[in-house]
Amino acid sequence: MRGWLALIACVVLMTGCVSVPLGNKWTVDSRVDIQTRLGLSYMKLGRLEPAGLALGRALALAPNDSRANHAMALFQLR
In this predicted model, what pLDDT tens digit does every residue of 14-68 receive, in sequence order? 556 655 566 778 999 999 999 999 999 999 999 999 999 999 999 999 999 999 9
Which one-letter amino acid corresponds to residue 39?
A: G
Domain count, the chain: 1
Query: For the residues 4-20, what does the mean pLDDT come to?
Result: 58
Domain that holds residue 53: 26-78
Distance CA 43, CA 51 (A): 6
Q: Where are the alpha helices (DSSP H) in the chain?
A: 2-15, 28-44, 48-61, 66-77
Distance CA 4, CA 11 (A): 10
Higher pLDDT, 64 or 11: 64
Domain assignment of residue 11, yes or no: no
Q: What is the pTM of this model?
A: 0.70
Domain assignment of residue 31, yes or no: yes
Give residue 25's pLDDT: 85
Q: Classify 7 in phi/psi space as left (phi over 0), alpha (psi -120 to 50) or beta.
A: alpha
Domain assignment of residue 75, yes or no: yes
Q: Above 90 in pLDDT, residue 7?
A: no
Domain assignment of residue 5, yes or no: no
